[in-house]
Amino acid sequence: MTGSVYFISGIDTGIGKTYTTGYLAKLWNEQGQKTITQKLVQTGNVDVSEDIEQHRKIMGMGWFPGYAINLETGERLNIIFAEDSYLTEDNGRDLKWNPTSNIVTDEAPLYDPGPPAVYSQGNYLLGGKHFVYVISGSADVVKDSTYIDGTDSPNYDECAWIYNQLKNYTSPGYVANIWQVFRNASWVGMPILAPGRSLLANDVTVKLRVSKPYEQYITRNASAILDKNDDLTIGTTYFVMGANLNHNSISYSPGDTFTAVTTSFSGSSNARAISPIPQNEFSPMYRFSTDDIVAEIGNHTTAVNALDMINVVPNPYYAFSTYETSQLDNRMKITNLPERATISIFTISGTLVRQLKKNDQMTSIDWDLKNTFGIPVASGLYVIHVDAKGVGEKVLKWFGVMRPIDLDTF
């Protein structure tokens, strides 16, 4: 760690250590001194320290529980997120990344394109609109005393440059600052908490891959790439690349187009005139279709084929699964189920242990590893029969090892 480090200690002193530290950090940041706060020790805390959460509120900074890496360069990237302060019931005003599972209000929103366009009834909640933005930067930006006020995004700096660009929302240049920041957004996501799940109950990794970097590359024959020593064809429109050029006493920059009125142009030896005009300015273009993966409704053949995807997880079960929420919770899932199904669980001798009935939109059902009378089942091999009325049947095998209750840990 470089720079000055200040350590403030004390236990339940009630003299305002949290607020003093937070406002000092805010003041130093506003003076151009990049400042972070840390809570090294806090008795009884198992999550993010409430003091650090208070610091982030005072400093005008939020807390995001993750990070992003550029796999091409190995560099860490800055991450920022949004929230809708009007949606307080969906955690939209606490400066924390904690989306809910609510997508719309109880009354669905309606839109009449008009004219005039009219919105009515409910509203979109989208989990509190905790949108995530991964911001790329350049290692060419030197992190000296002046970069914080510059217009170029640096590589990872704990979002100091972004914060400086966006903090003065009343300044005349604020709109331009927004553009300076978000033009560097390399990935944008709209995560929403899955129904019935708690935030940060498990790790999530998002991997994005493309077969070619997003850089310009020329897809023309060499004969179509002209420099200042080549002749232009009068009446032909050309695309400028490489460097500025001059034609008919007019200067053109890379990305500009012009129509030749003479056969020559001047400028840097790196300047090129290319025809015909490229699509997407020589940047990559991708085309894909979802025609073959669109959901089919009412197709019996598709429903029968989907039976092959029914599964039981985890399998085998070794005394624990990530679905469990406490030491007394035992749980496994039968997944990829149709809307209506009857699940029967047997011992290998054919004794019915438990029968579960499903009639909802969920694609899975839980089994608490108990029999019909609420008694935990024994370790061993079980046969699971899934009967999808009107569609077909599927038989699965499952092996589980039960764990004894450890009363000493309570």
Average pLDDT over residues 77-90: 91
Neighbouring residues of 16: CB distance < 8 A, sequence distance ≥ 6: none
Per-residue pLDDT tens digits for 263-303: 999 998 889 898 887 777 677 677 888 877 777 777 778 78
* pLDDT band for position 9 (cuts 50, 70, 90): low
Same domain (yes/no): 265, 320: no
Q: Compute the mean pLDDT over every residue in the chain, rounded to the nearest whole number.
A: 83
Domain residues for 323? 300-409
Can you tell me the distance from the alpha carbon of 138 to that of 180, in angstroms, rounded to the nearest whole number?
Answer: 13
Residue 203 included in any domain: no
Is residue 128's pLDDT more than 70? yes
Tell me, yes or no, whether 289 lies in a domain.
no
Q: Say what the pTM is.
A: 0.45
Same domain for 275 and 333, yes or no, is no
Q: Pick from 372, 374, 381: which is nearest to 328 by CA?
A: 374
| 72 plus 185 within the same structural domain | yes
- Judged by DSSP in three states, 178 sits in helix
**Is residue 186 predicted with pLDDT exceeding 70?**
yes
Cα distances (angstroms) measured from residue 49 to each of 46, 107, 199 = 8, 37, 16
Query: Region 82-99: what's the mean pLDDT?
Result: 88
Tell whether 295 is covered by a domain: no
Does residue 201 lie in a domain region? no
What share of the chain in percent tops pLDDT 90?
A: 23
Identify the CATH number of the domain in which residue 349 sits.
2.60.40.4070
- Residue 22 pLDDT: 73
CA distance 337 to 321: 20
Same-domain check for residues 334 and 390: yes
pLDDT at 42 over 60: no
Q: Which of 95-99, 249-253, 288-292, 374-378 has the lowest mean pLDDT?
A: 288-292
Residue 11 belongs to a domain: no
**97 and 179 housed in the same domain:** yes
Q: Which of 8-17, 197-206, 304-313 has the lowest mean pLDDT?
A: 8-17
For residue 368, give the amino acid letter.
Answer: D
Rounded average pLDDT over 163-181: 87
User: Looking at the structure, do residues 308 and 365 belong to the same domain, yes or no?
Assistant: yes
In a domain, 290, yes or no: no
Q: Do 307 and 402 sit in the same domain of this protein?
A: yes
What integer is the mean pLDDT of 244-249?
Answer: 93
What's the confidence (pLDDT) of residue 1?
45
* 53: amino acid identity, one letter: E
**Hey, which residues does 237 pair with through a beta bridge?**
259
H or E element in which residue 365 lies: strand 365-367
CB 28 within 8 A of CB 21: no
Structural domains in the chain (count): 4
Evaluate whether residue 215 is within a structural domain: no
**∠ CA(82), CA(83), CA(85), 5° rounding?**
140
CA distance readout (Å), 290 to 210, 294, 295, 309: 18, 6, 10, 20
Best CA proximity match to 190, nearest among 82, 104, 283: 82
Say yes or no: 81 and 184 in one domain. yes
- The reply to whether 31 and 50 lie within a common domain is yes
Same domain, 234 and 278: yes
Are residues 241 and 138 both part of a single domain?
no
Domain membership of residue 293 (yes or no) is no
Answer yes or no: do 52 and 75 share one domain. Answer: no
